[in-house]
Amino acid sequence: MALSSAFRERLEQMEHSRNQRLSLLQAEKDLQANKSQVLAAKFANIRAMERRCLVLEQKIASQNFKISATRSEIESLVSKYNLDLQQLRVLKSEVCELEELENEKERFYGLKESEMKEFNAQVERFVLECRKQVEELRNRLNELKLRFMDPQGKNRYLDNFQIAAAEMRKSELLAEKENLDRSLATNYQIRAQLQKQLQNILIMQNQKRMKLTQFPDRSSNSKS
């Protein structure tokens, strides 16, 4: 009896130990299952994060491409702006030179115009003086002709000498008048040439100004 009781107790202990191990194994199994679920969830999160990272990398690559294209466009615009700026400086320099040339031409033209006015005044005074002298000589000539036509013939030789002197003086005055007319015509030609040169300068300046007014429009269009 004592042996069977001990054997039964031993069996119960072994059963209890087996049940405990089974319980531990089940708990371990449940724990492993929970860990597997957690790992699966973590892997799913990692895959989702990888997909989001891939999308972000694609967006970053697209933005980098846009940035590169924009940078190239900016560099092209800067290069074009520098070229336009250089052209503008050249045009401004040419305009300054033309303005200086125009000022010099205006001063020269004003001086020549003043000289021509003074010359014209001198010519007018000389013409008046010549007309007066010619009129006086004509009157003297008429008087001498009347004396020459005197039937008594008094002082005939003296009148002939005076007539010859008057005719010579008249010829001299007419020659001086012709010289003055030629000089006046030459001055008129010079004045016409100066006016033509001044007109050409004004036309060139207007063309340069038109280019300058069109230049900012091109620059603004290129910038836009």
What's the CATH code of the domain at 50?
A: 1.10.287
DSSP designation for 151 = T
Alpha-carbon gap, residue 176 to 182, rounded angstroms: 10
Average pLDDT score over residue span 93-104? 84
pLDDT at 222: 46
pLDDT at 76: 93
pLDDT tens, position by position, 131-149? 787 777 777 777 766 765 6
Is residue 104 predicted with pLDDT exceeding 80? yes
Alpha-carbon gap, residue 143 to 220, rounded angstroms: 87
Cα within 13 Å of Cα(116), Cβ side: 17
**Nearest residue to 159 via CA among 168, 172, 150, 170:** 150
CA 101 to chain centre: 20
Token pair 């006046």: residue? 184
Is residue 74 predicted with pLDDT exceeding 90? yes
Give percent of the chain above pLDDT 90: 19
Taking the CB of residue 71, how many other CB atoms lie within 10 A of it? 10
Average pLDDT score over residue span 170-176? 75
The count of domains in the chain is 1
Helix axes 2-148, 156-223, angle to 10 degrees: 170
Residue range(s) defining the domain that contains residue 22: 2-223
pLDDT at 2: 55
